[in-house]
Every structure is written in C-alpha cells, then in structure tokens.
A = this chain, B = another copy of it.
Amino acid sequence: MVKIALDAMGGDNAPAEIVKGAVQAVAADKDCFVYLVGKEDKIKECLNGQQYDSSRIEIVNADDVIETGEPPVMAIRRKKESSLVKAMYMVKNKEADAFVSAGSSGAILVGGQTIVGRLRGVDRPPMAALIPTKDGVSLLVDSGANVDARATMLVQWAVMGSIYMENVVGIKNPRVAIVNVGLEEEKGNSLVKETYPMLKECPNINFIGSIEAREIPNSYADIIVCDAFVGNCILKLYEGEAKMILGKIKGVMISSLKTKIGALLIKKSLKTQLKSMDASEHGGAPLIGLNGLVVKTHGNAKAKEVKNSLIQCVTFTKMNINDKIIEALSQIPEQHN
C-alpha cells in the first residue's frame, strides 16, 4: 500500500475536484491509500454521496490554508496548521510516502526543501514537468525550482530524470538532451558550455547532445535538461501557445454556418488527437530528489489530473525511485559533485 498525503485545500478547484480525484484514484489503483488533509467538515461534504473504499481514504483535519499569493517562506514557517504544511510533515515523519498539491508553487517548493528535505547526494531538487510531444511525452527538468543553476546540478537532474522516465513512464534507455541555441558543441551560453562535456562523460545516462527548442515538440528527446528559468519559459510558452492557436481555430470554426458544419464533421477526430496533447493525462510535476515524493499539479487541476498524480505517486514509490537515485548519483565522477 502506498500512502499519499493529499492537500485537499490547494488549487482553484479545491476541495471538490481534489476529493473527487482521490475517490477516482482509490477506485483505479488498489495499492493507493489517500490521506485527505484539510478542513474536515468541507472534505466530508465533498465525500458525501461518493462511493469509495473507506479503508483507503482517511481525513486528516487541518484548519488553515496557504493562499496562492502568500510569500512562500513566511507561509511555510507560520501556518503550521495549514493543509500543505501538515501534509508535508506526514511525508517527513514517514506517515506518508508522497505528497500531492494543486496549491501555491512557491510554498510547495519551499516546503519540499525545508520540511520533506533533500535526498542524500542531491544538491538541488528540480521540478520535472511532463510535456506532451508529437509521439508521447518528454520530461522537462528543471521546469520551475532553480532559476540560477550550476552545471553540476544539471548533470544530477539528467540522471534523476532518466531514472524517472525509465521507471515511472516506462521508456527504456531514455534519451537526454540539453536545451541549446544550436546543435554544434561550441554553441551555448556559459552554463550550457560547461555542462555539455560533463553530460557527455556522465555514466548511467543516454546523452544525445543539444536540442533546439524548435525540436522539443517533435519528441527528439525523453529528458530535456535546462535551468529552471529557461525550463519555466518553455513550459509556460508551451501551454500558452497551444491555447492561443486552438482558440484561433475554434474562432474559425464558429465563424459562419459553413465552417460550423465543417467543424461538426471533424470535431470527434480532432478531440481524440488533441487529447494526446493533454499533459494532465500524465499527472503533475514531481519535485525529484526529496526524502519522499512531492508532486505539484496545475493550480486549475480537475479530478482527472489529481487522480493521475496520485497514481503517479504509487508507481514512483513502488519502483523505489529514490534508492535508484542515490545509487546512480554516487556513480557520477567526483569532479561533478
């Protein structure tokens, strides 16, 4: 049984969609146990009338909530009775294996580092987001945690990302590439130029060189390494542009009677195709390299994404990802640490 502390109060759709996601996850995976951490009365209201295995969902009361706009460090320090802090302490105290929240990214990052704590050998845990590509999904790491990074960190992220993609997503010998402005080895900013030869020498990873951002949507690499400033820009542009283009196409489709009829004819096929581009199918973004697992879902996550994030935690824990990370990091040559 994998026990997950779920922040029932975090995110735009909390607690209703969060609770619904827990119910769906428990139904879908018999090894999934969920602690719903948050305001007991509100959670009970949401559970009311739902069918679920009550031996695998338990409410843990938390009276406070961390809001999205709050300065993270302060919030983590002061709001000890918040759902986020209480749920994270459950991971720290080994009462839970993993933590999931749709709440404040800042608070999740700070809490992950200061409450849950880093795994032995990990300098800076990165946020690793799965992004939909032409033929599947790629792991963008770091997508949000460390905006000023050093070369040694990027190497660790490549190793951790490889373990994640191999064991959680199921891709054999996953390809690692570093985000760059060109393919030649002499290209890059100073960080990339320093990191490139280190990745080349790093054991345990299948390093294929640089990737230009243009090729990210084309499934050219399974793990895409960059600092979190670049990664966050890529992630957000990825979401924003898709939305803009699909909005334009939708606008075209409803622009006249003729196009409306046309739209009806392609609607179903289009939906199926676009579903393959929906990252929420794969759950949230894990903060890798912690003593436990912390997963951040989108702030506007619905039940499906919450469910998938919980199942992602089950796989992560059952595959002993953290032991594999400790083992692999210890094999990186000295100069890289």
Which chain A residues have a beta carbon within 8 Å of chain B's beta carbons?
133-134, 144, 147-148, 179, 181, 188-190, 192, 212-218, 227-230, 232-249, 251-253, 255-256, 258-259, 261-266, 269-270, 273-274, 277
**Are B213 and A148 neighbours in the complex by a CB distance under 8 Å?**
no
Q: Which of A214, A242, A263, A270 has the most CB of B within 10 A?
A: A214
Residue of B nearest to A147 (CB): B189
- Contact status B147-A244, CB under 8 Å: no
B240 x A218 contact (CB < 8 A) = yes
Number of copies of this chain that the complex holds: 2
The answer to whether A240 touches B213, judged by C-beta atoms less than 8 angstroms apart, is yes
**Contacts A217-B244, A240-B215, A241-B217; is A181 near B270 (CB within 8 Å)?**
no
With known contacts A147-B188, A273-B252, A213–B229 Cβ distance under 8 A:
no
| Most B C-beta atoms less than 10 A away, residue of A147, A212, A273, A274 | A147
A181 with B214: CB separation less than 8 A: no
- Which residue from B214, B238, B256 sits with its C-beta under 8 Å from A236? B214
- When the two chains form their complex, are residues A228 and B181 in contact, meaning their CB atoms are under 8 A apart? yes
The answer on a CB contact under 8 Å between B189 and A227 is yes
Cβ contacts A to B, 11 pairs, < 8 Å: A133-B244, A144-B181, A148-B189, A181-B228, A215-B240, A237-B237, A238-B241, A245-B246, A249-B273, A258-B266, A259-B265
Are B189's CB and A214's CB within 8 A? no
